[in-house]
Structure 1
Amino acid sequence: MAATASPDSTSGGSLGDVIRTAELLVTTGPGGVGKTTTSAALGVAAALAGRRVVVVTVDPARRLADALGLDEGAAADEPHRVEGVVGLGDGPDDGELWALMLDAGSTFDRLVREQTANERQAKVILENSVYRAISGSLAGAQEYMAIERLHQLHSSGEWDLVIVDTPPSRHAIGLLEAPDRLVGFLSHPVYRALTAGQRAFAKVTNAAASMFLWAVRRLAGPQIVEDTVEFFRSLSEIEPGLRRRAGEVATLLRADVSSFIVVSSPRAEAIGEAEHLVGALRDGDFPLAGVVVNLIHPLPEPLTAKDRALLDDLGEGPLADHLNWHDELSELAIAEREELAALADLAEDVPVVELPLLDIDVHDVEGLAGLADLLVGHG
């Protein structure tokens, strides 16, 4: 794709400043607004600016993998270098672009190994049947492991910039709350009861915990009950490390090195979700760095009174159809800009970049480079 349209920026600053200075960049927004592609394009822009960048996606549709030309599974959990970006060479000052698909289970495994005292202790947890069943599918696990993987990559010191492409908005809020939710889970009465005293089921006397285990026994049998209790008891041995990590992650997300970009489209429902996200980020003291609005329809040149009078006298035909199309597109474009005005006001002092609806879908690194220029080329 050769992008030719020019973006509009309705607030101060630029995304170019963000990708040159941030160490962590989290993109969030509604589904179907081009968020994954925007994340990848920001990665291209940062790499072209000379930075070593890794882009992490937690999008279950694997769209980022497709956009970056990654084979199925090639980028799973471990970074995979993206080739073919024009302008990226092997010189000492050249940037690099890498990508990976989040594997929540592998990230959880890595966290367990890091927090346990030895391989034997890690093995007890990793081989537990309950752990194997929930490590990649537990409610909230993917959101927390996305942030945990971000922390792992950032703390490794290997990357100038880590970009995380989050799931749609409803999951993104869970992602922001993930560290606090982990601490809440570790403080829950059922968890506290299951990790206290002797390991036998009969010794668990807390009413809520007993009811929970009774239900598990009825549904899955006594062996699963024993495995469940053993899992929670083993987890309690690394609880201090998990609490400490959750605190580190929560602090990192709010640090000056982090930036959040909200991505939306001009649809009213998408703008509403974006406004909610902007408010949630500000309320949570997360550093909002910009807003990107994709898929904006062009605003046609207004007709002069003379031209409209002439066209209004036309009967049915191609010119009349074109006039109707002009009026409908004008109404749509004006309505979109009215929706955008409220979002721009809410975003206040951060850049709001408006990108036009492109006639070619961005599906390869050439298209990403064109989109990168639209995103940051003006600043």
Structure 2
Amino acid sequence: MKKTLLAFTLSTLLTACGGSSDNDSASPIQQTSEKVGVLTDGVIIGANYTINGVTKQTNERGEFEYNEGDEITFSIGNIEIGKVTGDSRITPLELAQDEKTQLNLMIFLQSLDTNGDHDDGITIPANLSLTPNTINFSAPTAEFVQNLQTQFQAIPELRDKTVVTPEKAKENFGKTMLKDIAGTWYVQGAEGDESEIALILKEDGSFIMGEAILNEEEKEFNGMEVGKIDSYDPITGLFTASATIDTNQDWGLTDFGKSRNMVLKFDGTQLHIQEEKNPEESATFSRLPNTANGIVGVWQSPASHIFIFNSNNTYFLLDPVGDDQVEAGDTPCGDAGIEYGKYRVLDNKLYIDPRDILIDTNGCAGLSDTNAQSGLSLNIQADKLSFTVAGEGSYTLSRYK
């Protein structure tokens, strides 16, 4: 079957692990550990949350405390906005099940913000009192907006506020989602599936994606995309993207650079992307952590090359430039592409054996043409990495954040 999204489907890549004792004579010990979640449409400060009859408020980071399995009732003043099982990230999408109610919740929460600046989150006014039976989150949105504005007029501290429009509420929530998923995401194939995907997303929706497929039959799909999310509905998750560079054919987020309908879901921990019409064509990404020291992590060059050094001694280079040292009259010896292989660090030197470069689609560019088998001198600091290439000089990378 033709695979048009990503190199593989990893519905079972990331699973929760648990265990139990085989000693039947021992009584099980019930252990509970307090967890911290975030209520967000932009962090929501000062919202009430009730667990087992005890009511507290979200703090200045929108955080709430809970234990695994707790049922949490969220409310604003005396208005209940939703009841959910505790999780690391709660948004209007979790507080309600249908799109209309989700949108009305966004309008309600954003309209209450004390300073009206969604970029710094939502601060709920203290001692807010609204009439519960006049707030119907399941009402048609136009009716909901009108009724909410009427409610505001009756409350002195809200009288000067204008209810946020549905369009603006959705736009604000979309910006929050993109901000929350900005970073580096990675998928490593399960046993027998020798494929890896790196996806770097920025808050403005721009992205760079690399796919390394070691399967001989599918190696022509090795490549990368550089592009941007053009349209995004944060309620349904539906989005389209365009690419200025697309060397992975019809895999990735675009189809030979052309847009197609995709769906994005984020649960606070994992990022799931699938095709709208072919949900089985999907991948579940895990955020790639950046360590505070050592070579392991994600690095970026001034020219936007992305270097990923994994803890298992594999590296992934996403090169959107190719040969950038072409002299006048010469033809570039390398185009935008990727490198994937194995590395080792010994005595402050980076070693890459040419036989360990398993994928190389950027020609003479990248690490494959640096004589790294002899060792490249390294200088690694907390946020800087530099290496020296004989005859070329030193290159400095910054830790990607």
TM over 0.5: no
More helix by share: 1
Higher relative contact order structure (alpha carbons within 8 Å, sequence separation ≥ 6): 1
More strand by share: 2
Give the alignment's TM-score, normalised by structure 2: 0.23
